[in-house]
Structure 1
Amino acid sequence: MWIIFAFASALFAGLTSILAKCGIKNTDSNVATAIRTIVVLIFSWIMVFIVGAQSAITEVEFKTWVFLILSGLATGASWLCYFKALQLGDINKVVPIDKSSTVLTIVLAFLFLHEEMNVLKIVSVILIGIGTYLMIQKKETKEQQGVQNKSWFWYACLSAVFASLTSILGKIGIAGLNSNLGTAIRTGVVLIMAWVVVFVTGKQHEIRKIARKEMVLICLSGLATGASWLCYYRALQDGLASVVVPIDKLSILVTIVFSYLVFHEKLSRKALIGLLLILVGTLCMIL
Structure 2
Amino acid sequence: MEIPIYIFYALLSAIFAALVAIFGKIGLEGIDSTLATTIRAFIMFVFLLLVSAFQGKLKGGITSRQFAFIVLSGVAGALSWLFYFLALKTGTVKAVVAIDRTSVVFAIAFAWLLLGEEVTLRAFIGALLIVIGAILVSLK
Correspondence for 2:32 among 170, 174, 178: 178
Superposed counterparts of 1:1-287, under 5 Å: 150-206=4-60, 209-287=61-139
Query: Residues of 1 paired with 2:55 and 2:47: CA distance?
Result: 12
Query: Residues of 2 paired with 1:268 and 1:224: CA distance?
Result: 27
Query: Residues of 1 paired with 2:123 and 2:35: CA distance?
Result: 39
Query: Residues of 1 paired with 2:10 and 2:105: CA distance?
Result: 18
**Change over 3 Å in CA distance of 1:261–1:146 after alignment to 2:** farther
Q: The residue matched to 2:53 in structure 1 has which SS?
A: helix
Query: Residues of 2 paired with 1:284 and 1:269: CA distance?
Result: 22
RMSD: 1.6
Counterpart residue identity of residue 224, structure 1: A
Per the alignment, residue 104 of structure 1 pairs with none
Structure with larger RCO (C-alpha < 8 A, sep 6+): 1
Query: Residues of 2 paired with 1:236 and 1:178: CA distance?
Result: 11
Query: Residues of 2 paired with 1:189 and 1:171: CA distance?
Result: 17
- TM-score under structure 2 length normalisation: 0.93
- TM-score under structure 1 length normalisation: 0.46
- Deviation sequence 1:115-164 (CA, Å, 0-9, x none): xxxxxxxxxxxxxxxxxxxxxxxxxxxxxx988xx111111110000000
Show structure 2 runs of 5+ residues with no match.
none
Runs of at least 4 residues off by over 6 Å: none
Query: Residues of 1 paired with 2:134 and 2:63: CA distance?
Result: 39
Per the alignment, residue 15 of structure 1 pairs with none
Query: Residues of 1 paired with 2:57 and 2:2: CA distance?
Result: 25
Query: Residues of 1 paired with 2:26 and 2:122: CA distance?
Result: 38
Query: Residues of 2 paired with 1:228 and 1:280: CA distance?
Result: 21
Query: Residues of 2 paired with 1:180 and 1:157: CA distance?
Result: 28
- Deviation sequence 1:197-242 (CA, Å, 0-9, x none): 1011111100xx1010010000011111111111110110011111
Query: Residues of 2 paired with 1:160 and 1:268: CA distance?
Result: 24
Q: Is the 8 A contact 2:105 2:130 kept in 1?
A: no
Q: Is the 8 A contact 2:34 2:86 kept in 1?
A: yes
Residue identity over aligned pairs, in percent, reads: 37
Q: The residue matched to 1:273 in structure 2 has which SS?
A: helix
Q: The residue matched to 1:157 in structure 2 has which SS?
A: helix
Show structure 1 runs of 5+ residues with no match.
1-144
